[in-house]
Structures are given as C-alpha cells and as structure tokens.
C-alpha cells in the first residue's frame, strides 16, 4: 500500500467520523426540540386550566380576593430575562474557547436563578388561601420553579465540566443543551407572568 492510499484511507475515516459526530449532534438536537414541544404542552395546559377556571368565576380573582401585587414578580421577571442574556454569553464564550467567560456567565446566571426562586418564595407568602385561585397559582408557579431549579442543576453540571476544560468550540453539546433549556424556562415564564399578572 503506497502513501497515497494510506492518506486517502485516513481522510475517508476522518470524514466518516465527522459525519457520525454531526449525525449524533443532529439527533440530540432533535431530541431536545421534541422534549421542549412536549414539555411546552404541559405549560400550555396550565395556561388553559387557568383560562377555564376564570370562565367559571364572575370575576378574576374571585370575589373577596384582591389581585396580587406585581411588583416583586416584575423584578424577578427582569432578573430572569437578564439571566437569558448571560446564558447566551455562556454559549458565545464557549464558541470562542473562552473558559473564564463560560464560568463567569454561568455564575451570574445561577445567581439570577437563585434570586428568582427567592422571589417566588416571597410571592407565595402573599397568596391568599382561596380555593381554585390559590390552587392554579401555586401549581403554575411551582411547576415553573421546578424547571428553574432543574435548569440551575444543569448549569451547575456544565460549570464543573467547564472548570475541567471539557468544552471546545466544536465540542460543547451539554453546554448548548443547558442554555437552550434555560431559554425555554425564560420563555415560559413570560407567558406565565402575562397570564397571572397582566390578564
């Protein structure tokens, strides 16, 4: 076997490995999209349940229950939206092989997630015990808080991997998936905020 055959064989093997990596990444991205659609359906279900409960009441909130103040929720919503920007900076830093940028932006994103969860706890203390109104409010915000917590755990996981230097510009799938999940959480909260405090 001459050098030309060896080189062609090596190039063919490298091309096949590249195609396999791309196919695997495409499958992972598709799986994540499918999960987001299914999970998004649950969020939409809670919004529809909220709507149906409102239709059965002469007014919303029901008579005798004052509307919750939107001050704290508005502030924590801004913090959560800002965390979406810092999460985007995590991905940008990984594409530039900037490990310090990845770590710094994950820390800020996690801190904003903690602020959001503390804010939700403060809001829960203001919710009156009043049947369906309380039930749907706690269910929706509790479900969302669990997603924020899950996103924080994912970010903590990728933080540890980034500390070890596991990410490069072309090998950062778990980082990308965590950031996409965080954006999903942000988007769902915007919908919830509108339903719970604006409408």
Distance from C-alpha of 173 to C-alpha of 154, rounded to nearest angstrom: 12
- Name the residue among 122, 138, 146, 125 with its Cα closest to residue 73: 122
User: Encoding tokens for residue 73?
Assistant: 């929720």
pLDDT tens digits, 56-114: 777 777 777 777 888 999 999 999 999 999 999 998 998 898 999 999 999 999 999 99
Fold held by 3-198: 1.20.120
The per-residue pLDDT for 113 is 96
* Residue 196: CB atoms within 10 Å: 20
The per-residue pLDDT for 168 is 79
Instruction: Give 124-127's long-range contacts (Cβ < 8 A, gap of 24+).
Output: 126/68, 126/69, 127/68
User: Encoding tokens for residue 88?
Assistant: 């985007």
Sketch the domain layout of the chain as residue ranges. Answer: 3-198
Residues shown for the chain: 199
What is the C-alpha radius of gyration for the chain, rounded to an integer number of angstroms? 22
- Residue written as tokens 């969860």? 117
Per-residue pLDDT of the chain (199 residues; tens, 9 = 90+): 555 665 666 776 766 666 666 766 666 666 667 667 777 787 788 788 878 877 877 777 777 777 788 899 999 999 999 999 999 999 899 889 899 999 999 999 999 999 999 999 999 988 877 677 888 889 899 999 999 999 999 999 999 999 998 877 777 888 888 998 999 999 899 988 988 888 7
Q: What is the DSSP letter of 58?
A: S
Where is 141: in which H helix or E strand? helix 131-163
């Amino acid at each position: 076997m001459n050098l030309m055959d060896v080189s062609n064989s090596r190039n063919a093997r490298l091309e096949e490995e590249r195609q396999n990596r791309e196919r695997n990444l495409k499958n992972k991205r598709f799986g994540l999209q499918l999960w987001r659609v299914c999970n998004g359906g649950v969020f939409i279900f809670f919004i529809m349940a909220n709507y149906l409960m409102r239709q059965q009441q002469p007014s919303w909130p029901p008579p005798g229950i004052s509307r919750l103040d939107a001050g704290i929720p508005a502030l924590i919503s801004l913090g959560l939206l800002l965390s979406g920007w810092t999460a985007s900076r995590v991905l940008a830093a990984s594409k530039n092989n900037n490990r310090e940028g990845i770590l710094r932006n994950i820390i800020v994103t996690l801190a904003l997630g903690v602020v959001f969860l503390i804010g939700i706890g403060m809001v829960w203390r203001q919710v009156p015990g009043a049947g369906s109104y309380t039930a749907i409010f706690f269910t929706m915000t509790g479900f969302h808080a669990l997603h924020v917590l899950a996103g924080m755990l994912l970010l903590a996981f990728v933080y540890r991997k980034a500390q070890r230097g596991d990410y490069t510009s072309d090998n950062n799938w778990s980082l990308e998936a965590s950031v996409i999940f965080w954006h999903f959480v942000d988007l769902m909260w915007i919908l919830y905020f509108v339903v719970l405090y604006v409408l």
